[in-house]
Chains A and B, each alone.
Chain A
Amino acid sequence: NAGVTQTPKFQVLKTGQSMTLQCAQDMNHNSMYWYRQDPGMGLRLIYYSASEGTTDKGEVPNGYNVSRLNKREFSLRLESAAPSQTSVYFCASSGDTAYYNEQFFGPGTRLTVL
C-alpha cells in the first residue's frame, strides 16, 4: 500500500496563476484533510472532508477550494495564487471520523509563489 500520495512534490507559481494539488489514499479512509505548514509553525487546517461528498472549511480556507472527487481523492485548488500562499501543503486521511483516529500524512507539496 502506498498510503497517502501527493502530487506534485514541488511547484513554483507566479502571482495570479492557478493550480491544483492532488491527494489520494488507498486505505479506504472516510476522512481527508488539507493543511498548510509555514516555517516554524504547526499545521493549520485549510479544508476537510468527513466523508465522500462533503467538505467543510477549516481554520484558513480563504483563497482555496477543494473537491472530494471520490473516496480516494481529495484535491486542493488555488484559483489565483498569492505570495502569502507560499507554504508546504500536507494532505492527510483518517478512518472512521466518529472515533477521531490517527491521521496518516502524505509527504507534502512545497509551493512557492513569486
Chain B
Amino acid sequence: SQQGEEDPQALSIQEGENATMNCSYKTSINNLQWYRQNSGRGLVHLILIRSNEREKHSGRLRVTLDTSKKSSSLLITASRAADTASYFCATVPSGTYKYIFGTGTRLKVLA
C-alpha cells in the first residue's frame, strides 16, 4: 500500500493566495521529499527534508515535518498560475532504498 497519503486530493485557489497540502506516512523514514508534476510530464524535485529537520524553506516553498505525527506539509506562498500541477510527497522508509510516493494533490491556481 502507499506509504504517503496527500490531503486534500484537489485544491483550487486564486492567484496570490497561499496553498497548503499535507502528507501522512506510516513508518519511520530517512527523509521526505516533495515533487511537482505538470500534466503529462515527469516529476520534478522541489525540496527534501531530513528526519532530523523540522522546517525547511526554498523560495516560495515552506516544508514542515513532524515525525511524531508522521506528517509533513508543503506551503506555497503567493501562488501563481504556473504553480498549477500535481504535488506528490515521497518517503524513503528507514532501512530501505525505496522511494514511496503518495497519491498526490492536484493544485489549480486561477488567474
**A contacts, CB < 8 Å to B:** 4, 31, 33, 35, 40-45, 48, 50, 56, 58-59, 90, 92, 97, 100-108
- Given contacts A41-B103, A100-B30, are A105 and B97 in contact (CB under 8 A)? no
CA distance A90 to B42 in the complex (A): 7
Chief secondary structure at chain B's binding surface: strand
B31 close to A (CB within 8 Å): yes
Query: Do residues B43 and A97 form an inter-chain contact, with CB atoms below 8 A?
Result: no
Instruction: Enumerate chain A residues within 8 angstroms of B35, measured Cβ to Cβ.
Output: 103
Query: Do residues A45 and B100 form an inter-chain contact, with CB atoms below 8 A?
Result: yes
**B contacts, CB < 8 Å to A:** 2, 4, 30-31, 33, 35, 40-45, 48, 88, 90, 92, 97-104
CA distance A35 to B88 in the complex (A): 14
Instruction: Enumerate chain B residues within 8 angstroms of A58, measured Cβ to Cβ.
Output: 98
Q: How near does chain B come to A105, taking the closest CB pair, in angstroms?
A: 4
Choose among B44, B48, B92, B101 the residue that contacts A43 (Cβ–Cβ < 8 A).
B101
List, sorted by A's number, 9 A–B pairs whose CB atoms are closer than 8 Å: A35-B101, A41-B103, A42-B88, A42-B102, A45-B98, A45-B100, A100-B30, A104-B45, A107-B41
CA distance A95 to B40 in the complex (A): 25
Choose among B2, B41, B45 the residue that contacts A42 (Cβ–Cβ < 8 A).
B2
Instruction: Enumerate chain B residues within 8 angstroms of A35, measured Cβ to Cβ.
Output: 101
- Given contacts A42-B4, A42-B88, A100-B30, are A48 and B42 in contact (CB under 8 A)? no
